[in-house]
């Protein structure tokens, strides 16, 4: 399979001189959810499983473009702030490109799987006593010196790469879906999907464009509230963001597509997180489950009655956050190593 940069060269800001780096990003599975079709009454519900990307999240699509362009322009290092997935992805692609990578994280609020990826890929890691928003302000300032290329989604190449997921969806379905459900944190991805669907339409890959429905966590819902949130709180640490950098892009995606940006509670997120794994065999991280929680919430008030075909974007792999997964169960049953003892334990379980 040709790499993402090769497949989508005509849609991306790359030249003959852009190094065609790859870790095998993109071309992720689109899996049908019979469970959500039953529950919502929608004819077709599809899950775009972005956790299947090389570092386990959608960030790889944008990072491969951002790091390739950094190489092309002679950059000597990359730098980002992150709730975790951007850091894991930046660290991996920087390693691949032979560039040093610095990541600034909100102390205490990065899921352990993401942190260990940044460590494994050899990033320089600094945790700050503040939320993601403070970390982003810091790397913006550090980036001004020009020593390192900022690879947060304020780097326009990130959005360009991430839009390829929308192109893939249109290719797989033969058209755009009626509605797309997606979590919103820093709001880069919803911005990227809208650009991707618009360009798919212009290029004749899709006859229609979808309505985009974005979901923030109730305790971290600045776009829904219409003002920044100083102390964002949610179990979904990936989207624990109070002042999204791509706010305007998200509002444009919402309004031009005729969609909405709404809030879901941590309980709704955790319920969707557990149920999609148990019914569909798809293990996503809590932030990703916000998309499913949002779809279920709209369906429960019949707000999906004009939707025949829906796609939920599952942005990250469940293995990223083993602590949250482990908290779903209590102590394991532990018994003597005999069939009898196991049979007795199972009778109690
Ligand atoms: C799994 O890694 O912001 O709205 O620093 O990791 O484009 O920010 C991650 C965001 C959704 C939200 N799902 O996407 C970071 C970071 C997962 C994520 C989002 C993130 P944006």
Q: Which of 86, 123, 128, 88 lies closest to 107, judged by CA?
A: 128
Helices (H), the chain: 4-7, 34-40, 59-72, 85-97, 112-120, 132-143, 156-162, 164-173, 188-202, 222-225, 247-257, 266-280, 286-300, 322-326, 339-348
3-state secondary structure of 269: helix
Q: What is the DSSP letter of 13?
A: T
For residue 287 and ligand 1, the question of a CB distance below 6 A is answered with: yes
What predicted TM-score, i.e. pTM, was given to this entire model?
A: 0.97
| d(C-alpha 217, C-alpha 314), whole Å | 15
Q: Is 189 in the pocket of ligand 1 (CB under 6 A)?
A: yes
Mean of per-residue pLDDT scores for the chain = 97
Residue with CA at minimum distance from ligand 1 atom 1:
316
82 close to ligand 1 (CB < 6 Angstrom): yes
* Cα of 82 from ligand 1 centre, angstroms: 8
Say if residues 96 and 23 touch (Cβ distance below 8 Å): yes
- pLDDT tens digits for range 88-127: 999 999 999 999 999 999 999 999 999 999 999 999 999 9
Q: What is the pLDDT of residue 348?
A: 78
Arithmetic mean of pLDDT, 63-73: 98
Distance 151 CA to ligand 1 centre (A): 13
Q: Decide: 85 in ligand 1 pocket, CB within 6 A.
A: yes
Residues 6+ positions from 61 with CB-CB distance below 8 Å = 4, 25, 26, 53, 161, 162, 164, 165
311 conformational bin, left if phi > 0, alpha if psi -120 to 50, beta if neither: beta
Q: Could you report the per-residue pLDDT of 9-46, keeping only the tens digit for each?
A: 999 999 999 999 999 999 999 999 999 999 999 999 99
Q: Number of C-alpha atoms within 13 angstroms, CB side, residue 49?
A: 17
CA separation for the pair 119, 322 (Å, rounded): 17
Question: Averaged over 71-92, what is the pLDDT?
Answer: 98
Give tens-digit pLDDT for 54-67: 999 999 999 999 99
Q: pLDDT digits over 127-186, tens only?
A: 999 999 999 999 999 999 999 999 999 999 999 999 999 999 999 999 999 999 999 999
CA distances from 80 to 46, 69, 89, 126, 312 (A): 32, 15, 10, 11, 27
**Residue whose structure tokens are 């963001």:** 241
Position 104 scores a pLDDT of 98
- State residue 29 phi and psi, 5-degree precision: -70, 145
Which residue is listed with tokens 């992720």?
Answer: 28
Q: How far apart are CA 327 and CA 323, in angstroms?
A: 6
Whether 54 contacts 152, CB under 8 Å: no
User: pLDDT at position 264, please?
Assistant: 98
Nearest CA owner, ligand 1 atom 10: 238
**pLDDT score for 58:** 98
What tokens were used for 165? 């997921």
> What pLDDT sits at residue 227?
98
What count of Cα atoms within 13 Å lies in the side-chain half-sphere of residue 163?
23
Q: How far is CA 126 from CA 18, 24, 102, 202, 321, in A?
A: 30, 28, 8, 43, 20
Grouping H, G, I as helix, E, B as strand and the rest as coil, residue 186 is coil
| Structure confidence at residue 228 (pLDDT) | 98
Mutate to test the pocket of ligand 1, among 80, 81, 85, 123 (most ligand atoms within 8 A of CB): 85
Q: Is the pLDDT of residue 349 over 80?
A: no
Q: Give the distance between the most distant pair of CA atoms in the chain.
A: 68
DSSP 80-111: EE-SSHHHHHHHHHHHHHT--EEEEEETT-S-
> Rounded to whole angstroms, how far apart are CA atoms 237 and 220?
10
- Percentage above 70 pLDDT, the chain: 100
204 to 4, 137, 171, 281: CA distances (angstroms): 20, 40, 11, 34
Pocket test for ligand 1, best of 130, 133, 183 (most atoms within 8 A of CB): 183
């Amino acid at each position: 399979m040709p790499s993402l940069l090769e497949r989508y060269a005509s849609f991306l800001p790359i030249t003959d001189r852009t190094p065609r780096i790859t870790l095998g990003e993109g071309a992720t599975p689109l899996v049908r959810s019979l469970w959500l079709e039953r529950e919502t009454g929608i004819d077709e519900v599809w899950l775009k499983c972005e956790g299947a990307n090389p570092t386990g999240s959608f960030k790889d699509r944008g990072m491969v473009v951002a790091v390739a362009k950094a190489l092309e322009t002679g950059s000597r290092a990359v730098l980002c702030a992150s709730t975790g997935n951007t850091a894991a992805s930046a660290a991996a692609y920087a390693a691949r490109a032979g560039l040093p990578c610095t990541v600034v994280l909100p102390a205490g609020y990065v899921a352990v799987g993401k942190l260990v990826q940044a460590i494994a890929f050899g990033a320089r890691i600094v945790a700050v006593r503040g939320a993601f928003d403070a970390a982003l302000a810091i790397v913006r300032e550090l980036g001004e010196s020009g020593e390192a290329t900022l690879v947060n989604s304020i780097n326009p190449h990130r959005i360009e790469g991430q839009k390829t997921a929308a192109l893939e969806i249109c290719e797989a379905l033969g058209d755009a879906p009626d509605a797309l459900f997606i979590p919103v944190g820093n709001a880069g991805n919803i911005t990227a999907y809208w650009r991707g669907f618009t360009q798919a339409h212009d290029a004749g890959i899709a006859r229609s464009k979808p309505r985009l429905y974005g979901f923030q966590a109730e305790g971290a819902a600045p776009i829904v509230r219409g003002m920044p949130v100083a102390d964002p709180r949610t179990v979904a640490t990936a989207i624990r963001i109070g002042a999204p950098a791509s706010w305007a892009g998200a509002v444009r995606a919402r309004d031009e597509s005729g969609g909405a940006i709404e809030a879901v509670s941590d309980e709704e997120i955790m319920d969707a997180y557990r149920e999609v794994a148990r019914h569909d065999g798809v293990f996503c991280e809590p932030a990703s489950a916000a998309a499913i929680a949002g779809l279920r919430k709209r369906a429960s008030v019949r707000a999906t009655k004009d939707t025949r075909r829906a796609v939920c974007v599952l942005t990250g792999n469940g293995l990223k956050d083993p602590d949250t997964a482990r908290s779903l169960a209590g102590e394991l049953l532990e018994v003597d190593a005999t069939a009898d003892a196991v049979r007795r334990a199972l009778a109690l379980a």
